[in-house]
Amino acid sequence: MSNQGTPADDADVIIVGAGPSGATTAYYLAQAGVNVLLLEKARFPREKVCGDGLTPRAVKALISMGVDTSPDAGWLPNKGLRVIGAGMRLELDWPDLDAFPGYGLVRPRTDFDEVLARRAQAAGAKLLEEVSVTGPVLDDAGQIVGVSAREDGTAKTYRARVVVAADGNSSRLAVAMGLRKRDDRPLGVAVRTYYTSPRHEDDYLESWLDLWDGDKLLPGYGWIFGMGDGTSNVGLGLLNTSKAFGNTDYRDLLRRWLAGMPEEWGYTEENRTEPVRGAALPMGFNRTPAHYRGLMLAGDAAGMVNPFNGEGIAYAMECGEILSRVIAHALARPTRAETERVLRGYPQALRDAYGGYYALGRLFVQLIGRPELMRYATRKGMNRPALMRFALKLLANLSEPRGGDASDRVISAMTRLAPNPR
């Protein structure tokens, strides 16, 4: 494959970060016969702050990678989403579709990410753990041709024809190349922890649309996902369109929300098994362009979390598949200039896949930043199961891409018509 690489290259492609986006990109590239080096600063198994919830969209991405998603292989299936809001609760099954399986999953990120990284290795990618990338290596024209790294306390350099930043929300590599987050795009911040709870085998993912401390409405949205291992993953988040964003004590917010929960659920300090940890959710393409001075961005580094529901794993994996296709085609071109030309098509490929949908999502985030509007919508919506089923399809991005029923066609039309700026 490396007919135009130099003898100094360590691989055709270097991928920085072995989370879902990096591991998936590595898997598909290795399958296409590309020589891939996957550099990860941690050693597996490693923690990642997350809700650990997977919709059918993520399940589909796992199945495409040949992952066995059965309970015997350690996965806890779920039937849908339980929505709690305006004093009501509604159980909505995942939609019955040709395009997606009818179940979601839960799996702690400690082993989820390792499962994907091992799939990439089995496909032929070379994974180096405990290698922390410290910056880009540039050619005379300022294009990235490799990375510098720290390994066992020593400085190292790795070179390749293509470099991918799959290093998560903060993406030090993208920042070092001059690519910062966009202020005009949505960003969430969320905290989560685990409690021993009798609710640990819940077969619905539970989403709270309003959080109460007695009769005081708190800002943000919450979730409770049974982990199937004796614990629940409990967390809450805020969007940067909310007034409270940036001046909220998230841990205190969590404590106040949980104080109102039935005692028998067990969400108390004594039952907490992990520290409360937080992280950001970069949404709706909040770092662009996804190809810049030769660097390709994937997953959270490209700000690919769904603004409607905070789901990021499915998009990190899908984006990895799209990116791997672009890179495989680019590397097959005979000259470096032609390779670059194909790589330049990547941002458009992402826009084709998600541009309209994320544009709608950005609008949605603006609207729900207004609490009175959100309260009105929750009160009206929770009384209308058919409307909520439509909302689930839209918010979880689970509709038939072609054909389908009336609601699928409405969603297709909405995403087609949404303004889709760069």
The residues that touch ligand FAD, with contacts defined as CB under 6 A, are: 16-22, 39-42, 48-53, 58, 132-133, 166-168, 172, 190, 192, 235, 279, 281, 299-301, 305, 310-314, 316
Q: How far is the CB of 23 from ligand FAD (least distance, A)?
A: 7
Spatial distance between the Cα atoms of 384 and 382, rounded to a whole number of angstroms: 5
CB of 263 to ligand FAD, least distance (A): 25
Of 47 and 139, which has the nearer Cβ to ligand FAD? 47
Nearest approach in angstroms of CB 305 to ligand FAD is 5
Sign, Cα dihedral of 300, 172, 366, 383: positive
Bridging pattern class, strands 187-196 and 211-213: unpaired
- The DSSP result for 249-303, as a single string, is -HHHHHHHHHHTS-GGG--SGGGB-S--EEEEEEBSS-S--SEETTEEE-GGGGT
Distance between CA atoms of 203 and 75, rounded to whole angstroms?
Answer: 12
Smaller CB separation from ligand FAD, 294 or 312: 312
The residue written with tokens 């799209």 in the block is 322
Residue 53 or residue 404: which is nearer to ligand FAD going by CB? Answer: 53
CA distance 303 to 316: 9
Quote the radius of gyration of the chain (alpha carbons, Å).
21
Q: Closest distance between ligand FAD and the C-beta of residue 286, in Å?
A: 12
Contact (CB, 8 A) for 341 and 294: no
Q: Which is nearer to ligand FAD, 38 or 404 (CB)?
A: 38
**Shortest separation between residue 299's beta carbon and ligand FAD, angstroms:** 2
**Burial level of 313, CB count in 10 A (0-12/13-18/19+)?**
buried
With CA atoms as reference, report the closest residue to 83 among 201, 195, 198, 205: 205
Q: 3-class DSSP state for residue 56?
A: helix
If phi over 0 gives left and psi between -120 and 50 gives alpha, with beta otherwise, what is residue 161?
Answer: alpha
Minimum CB distance to ligand FAD, residue 98 (Å):
22
Q: Considering beta carbons, is residue 30 or 404 the nearer one to ligand FAD?
A: 30
Q: In the complex with ligand FAD, which residue's Cβ is closer, 13 or 339?
A: 13
Nearest-approach distance from CB 168 to ligand FAD, in angstroms = 3
Q: Which residues contact 39 (CB under 8 A, 6 or more apart)?
A: 14, 15, 16, 17, 18, 128, 131, 133, 147, 149, 158
How far is 193 from 220, CA to CA, in rounded Å? Answer: 16
Q: How far apart (Å, rounded) are the C-alpha atoms in residues 113 and 120?
A: 11
Query: Cβ of residue 277: shortest distance to ligand FAD, in angstroms?
Result: 8
The least distance separating ligand FAD from the CB of residue 18, rounded to whole angstroms, comes to: 5
Pick the closer one to ligand FAD by CB: 112 or 339. Answer: 112
Give the nearer residue to ligand FAD in terms of CB position, either 57 or 339.
57
Shortest distance, position 64 Cβ to ligand FAD, whole Å: 16
Q: How many CB atoms lie within 10 A of CB 71?
A: 10
Task: Please say which residue, 123 or 339, places its beta carbon nearer to ligand FAD.
Answer: 123
Taking CB atoms, the residue at the shortest distance from ligand FAD is 312
- Looking at the Cβ atoms of 283 and 382, the one nearer to ligand FAD is 283
